[in-house]
Amino acid sequence: MNKSKLIDCIASASGLTKTDSAKALDAFISAVSDALKAGDDIRLVGFGTFATSTRAATTAINPRTRETVKVPARKVAKFKAGKTLQDVVNSK
């Protein structure tokens, strides 16, 4: 599902217009991004948790040149699904 289909689903489920649904989705994405950038976790009970973790610096090998490349440490965004979401995904 892409963003426009998600907006359509939100609009049909909530009764909002597609424009309002797009604004709501953009606001949600912005709020999650800002919170993760600030180092906060977002816990949505039953749905899941958005969090950041630090990936350590490492070295890698370029497969074409066999040259060693240093990969710097960085933050990565992670999502862990909650139990209710897992149950919905695994139900038949």
What are the tens digits of pLDDT across the range 41-70?
999 999 999 999 999 999 999 999 999 999
User: Rounded distance, CA 35 to CA 14, Å?
Assistant: 25
Question: Which of 40, 34, 33, 71 lies closest to 55 in space, CA to CA?
Answer: 71
Tell me the pLDDT of the chain averaged across its residues: 95
User: Rounded distance, CA 7 to CA 30, Å?
Assistant: 15
Torsion region of 39: left, alpha or beta (phi above 0 gives left; psi -120 to 50 gives alpha): left
Q: Rounded mean pLDDT of 68-89?
A: 95
Stated pTM of the model: 0.80
